[in-house]
Every structure is written in C-alpha cells, then in structure tokens.
Amino acid sequence: QFLDNICAHPILYASQAVAQFLQLLPSNALSQSIECMSVSLRNLRGWCVQEDWLDCGWRATKQFYLVKPTDGRKTRRDILSWTSYGPDWSMTPEATRELLDFVAKLECPYIQQPLFSWCDDLGALTVRRLIPEGTLRDHFYKGKPCDPYMKKYNFNCEVFTLQTEDARHIGRHILEALRYLNSIGIPYGK
C-alpha cells in the first residue's frame, strides 16, 4: 500500500530516488545521461560547468548543472539542463531543433528565452539564465534556487501567499505572455 501511494503521486514516481529503488531505469541510466550530456557540452564553447545540481529537479532523466560564461562575465551564472527523450518521444531531431530555435526567437519580455539550445537523437540541452531570487514557486515556499527539489517543495513546507499588489503584477505578466502567444498563433487552452 505504501508503494502504491508513492507511485500514485506523479512527482514522487518520477523522482530519481524512486526510479532507482523500483528499478524503473537501467542501472547505468544516470551515467549514460551524464555521458550524453558531456558529449553535448563539447558544442558549448561559451560556458564552463561549475557544479552539478542533480537533485534540483523532479524528473529522474533530467540533469541540471550550474554553468558560467567563459567570456569574462564572472558574476553571471546560468543553468544548463539536459534531458533524454522519453519512450513516447515521436519527433525527429530536426523537428526538435526547429522547435528549440522557435522558442529561442520569441520576443516577449515575460517569457524567458534560452541562451542556448541544442539537441541530437539522444536528448536536448538548454542553457538559461539563473534567477538569483528563484522562481515564483521558490517565493511561495521560501526556497533557494540551488536547494534540492524534495527539500524545497516537500509536503511539510509552509506555503506563503502573495500580497494583492504582487498578485496583480504577476497576473498581468502571465496574461501579457498568454496574449503574445495567442497573437502568434500558439494555443494555450480553451
């Protein structure tokens, strides 16, 4: 019954610890992912890896790394994420590349474009800016961007709310982003 309850929760079921315990992934899946990411990283001449954030996300097949630009901007830090394709992946690498290029060219101040994106037949890699204050979810849970996912967003954490003015401000940003997506023909709901 305990395992059924864990497997019923999608975030817990997809976590690396549960996937390893239930042997949902091959025993060498993590090392294969790191190897594929390292091969992909050879194409990145503008960044160097500072540290790994293996517990940053909730998906077992997605790795995060803290990277910094090699062009002298030492104060800025970015996040590199690499994920292998799932079993239901049906796009070709060329179509995935086109999609990544399309997202990188979006010109909306409320949508964070990736700084770099790349894919092959094994997975996709993106580099995006690290927001030092964290995401909106980090704000709700009073977490830090670099904390492990299960520590930041566990079931026992107190969730904080937004002030009315902050909710209006963020709501407007979301609506502006949705309006932009609608204007370029991307549906976002009913």
pLDDT in tens, 78-120: 888 888 887 778 888 899 999 899 989 998 998 888 988 888 8
Q: In what order do the strands lie in the sheet with 78-84?
A: 47-52, 62-69, 78-84, 123-129, 116-119
Domains and CATH numbers, the chain: 2-159 (3.30.200.20)
Question: Which residues in the chain show pLDDT less than 70?
Answer: 9-16, 19-20, 23-33, 36-37, 39-40, 43-44, 58-60, 72-74, 155, 189-190
State the pLDDT at residue 145.
80
Rounded Cα gap, residues 101 and 89, in angstroms: 18
